[in-house]
């Protein structure tokens, strides 16, 4: 566990500062007992953090530091993250219940993958280029956007934080990170590692806070850009606050992703892919395929295999290597998931697996992996993001019908197509209105842009496009002969 005296502090301007807000209780989703009480930044604390980031950007060395020096500091952070992988994984499992094997392979590993992906192309990224045409010549540069405020969720706390921090600081921005209240402990660890890596004071500031202070941050006049990952409702509120000041904003929001199983798919391979593709992190991932579309003639066979697979997912203590389904992150969230399960039954769905709390576990916020069939595409559980281990298997008549069901959603974050004919599957994938589609469960990796259509967000993260989001374009008109000397 972290040093206790830091629990009452925020990390600002390269040091630990006592917070002035009320404390935040961190409660174990496994034991339902208090783990710690940590700082909650007040609006005044937010002002101090933004002022530190503002100084570091406006008068500090970071924006003008040579790129190779910025890369070197990020590389030192990577070394520290790698040295602390087991500590990170255990801490996140303790905070929010992610099974430890998934914390090791995703929660603690993704920060390294983010840094590695940017390191592969940052040297070739076009921060400046000369463009010459008959109508004029220009030096086109990508300048750091300025002070960035990031609000991140509890479900993949350090991975998503690093998705935002790494491209921002490589671009020359400074940063204020507002972690989710429920997963503040790993944010304290991240602050320790950032401090040890040697970032100059004010470049990265970390301020745990509740909603009111978070709103103060995203609407702060000292902030140039906001980046948010979370629910569509919260994203809509943040977008409205940023819109009033024309503040740049990137939003990665909810999803209700569909997996289309074509009639030539290998059902065993499709079902096995859905083990993590539909139930990872106890169902608490925005990209999970929670609507599974199968031909009517294959429904019974598919559901039998899916239920058998779910039976091989042990439910239990998330610190146990054998566990594949741990507790949901909070009691309130468990209540929400259980409400959706009740709605699924009330609206005509057939519950064929799970739907309750595991009988052999008497504490912790658990919900069994749950499978519905006979769900109408317009039913609540087919339209709203549940964010729990609940999937709906629905049938389709033909491919046009399958695509129509998949696209019948206010979301457009992710999707999947399962087929033996990859060329044909690619054509089906192109018809799905989402930012990401996985062919036979294939991940896109960290080098490709990630984000959503429709109410799943604005903008993209990862890849060169993720770096673009932290820059502003500037064009400087040049005399032709001078432009030639710069080419």
Question: Do 472 and 143 meet the contact criterion of CB atoms below 8 Å apart?
Answer: yes
Q: What does DSSP assign to residue 461?
A: B
Phi, psi of 191 (to 5 degrees): -60, -40
Clarify whether 252 is annotated catalytic. yes
Report the alpha-carbon distance of residue 32 to residue 422 in Å, rounded: 47
Q: Residue 58 contacts by C-beta under 8 Å, 6 or more apart in sequence?
A: none
Tell which residue, 128, 117, 1, 13, has the closest CA to residue 486: 128
Q: What count of Cα atoms within 13 Å lies in the side-chain half-sphere of residue 211?
A: 5
Question: Do 147 and 223 meet the contact criterion of CB atoms below 8 Å apart?
Answer: yes
H-only helix segments in 84-156: 85-96, 100-102, 110-121
Report the alpha-carbon distance of residue 175 to residue 50 in Å, rounded: 8
Question: E strand or H helix at 421, and its extent?
Answer: none
Q: State CA 232 to chain mean position distance.
A: 13
For residue 458, list its beta bridge partners: 251
Tell which residue, 399, 385, 393, 465, has the closest CA to residue 430: 399
**Helix/strand/coil for 356:** coil
Residue 449, Cβ density class (10 Å: 0-12 exposed, 13-18 middle, ≥19 buried): middle
Report the alpha-carbon distance of residue 472 to residue 474 in Å, rounded: 7
For residue 380, list its beta bridge partners: none
Residue 336, Cβ density class (10 Å: 0-12 exposed, 13-18 middle, ≥19 buried): middle
The b-or-e profile of 299-319 (16+ CB within 10 A means b, else e) is beebbebbbebbeebebbbbb
- State the distance between the two ends of the chain, measured CA to CA, in whole angstroms: 54
Q: Residue 249 contacts by C-beta under 8 Å, 6 or more apart in sequence?
A: 225, 226, 227, 228, 238, 239, 242, 243, 458, 459
List 215, 242, 286, 461, catalytic entry: 286
Longest dimension (CA), the chain: 79
Report the alpha-carbon distance of residue 322 to residue 166 in Å, rounded: 33
Output the six-digit token pair for 421.
């004919």
List 95, 192, 252, 385, catalytic entry: 252
Clarify whether 196 is annotated catalytic. no
Active-site positions?
Answer: 252, 286
């Amino acid at each position: 566990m972290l040093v206790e005296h830091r629990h009452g502090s925020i990390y600002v301007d390269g040091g630990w500062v006592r917070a002035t807000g009320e404390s935040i209780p961190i409660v174990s989703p496994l034991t339902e007992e208090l783990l710690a009480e940590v700082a909650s930044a007040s609006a005044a604390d937010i002002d101090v953090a933004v002022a530190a980031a503002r100084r570091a950007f406006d008068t500090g060395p970071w924006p003008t530091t040579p790129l190779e020096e910025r890369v070197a500091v990020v590389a030192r952070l990577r070394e520290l993250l790698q040295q602390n992988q087991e500590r990170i994984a255990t801490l996140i499992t303790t905070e929010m219940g992610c099974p430890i094997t998934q914390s090791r392979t995703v929660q603690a590993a993704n920060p390294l993958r983010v840094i590695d992906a940017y390191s592969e192309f940052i040297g070739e990224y076009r921060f400046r280029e000369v463009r010459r045409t008959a109508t004029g010549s220009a030096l086109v540069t990508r300048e750091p956007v300025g002070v960035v405020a990031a609000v991140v969720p509890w479900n993949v706390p350090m991975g998503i934080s690093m998705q935002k921090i790494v491209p921002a600081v490589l671009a020359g921005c400074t940063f204020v990170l507002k972690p989710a209240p429920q997963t503040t402990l790993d944010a304290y660890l991240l602050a320790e590692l950032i401090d040890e890596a040697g970032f100059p004071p004010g470049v990265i500031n970390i301020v745990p806070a509740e909603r009111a202070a978070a709103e103060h941050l995203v609407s702060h006049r000292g902030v140039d850009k906001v980046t948010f990952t979370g629910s569509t409702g919260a994203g809509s509120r943040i977008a409205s606050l940023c819109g009033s000041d024309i503040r740049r904003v990137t939003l990665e929001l909810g999803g209700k992703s569909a997996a289309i199983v074509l009639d030539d798919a290998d059902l065993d391979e499709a079902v096995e892919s859905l083990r993590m593709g539909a139930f990872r992190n106890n169902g608490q991932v925005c990209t999970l395929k929670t609507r599974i579309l199968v031909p009517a003639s294959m429904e019974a066979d598919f559901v039998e295999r899916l239920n058998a697979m779910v039976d091989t997912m042990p439910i239990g203590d998330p610190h146990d290597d054998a566990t594949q389904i741990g507790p949901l992150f909070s009691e309130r969230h468990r209540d929400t998931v259980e409400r959706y399960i009740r709605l699924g039954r009330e609206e005509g769905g057939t519950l064929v697996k799970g739907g309750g709390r595991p009988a052999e576990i008497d504490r912790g916020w658990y919900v069994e992996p749950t499978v519905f069939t006979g769900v109408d595409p317009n039913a609540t559980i087919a339209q709203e993001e549940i964010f729990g281990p609940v999937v709906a298997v629905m049938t389709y008549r033909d491919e046009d019908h399958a695509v129509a069901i998949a696209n019948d959603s206010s979301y457009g974050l992710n999707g999947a197509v399962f087929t033996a004919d990859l060329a044909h599957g690619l054509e089906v994938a192109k018809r799905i209105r989402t930012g990401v589609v996985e062919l036979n469960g294939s991940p896109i990796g960290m080098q490709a842009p990630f984000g959503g259509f429709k109410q799943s967000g604005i903008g993209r993260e990862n890849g060169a496009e993720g770096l673009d989001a932290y820059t502003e374009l500037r064009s400087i008109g040049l005399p032709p002969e001078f432009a030639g000397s710069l080419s």
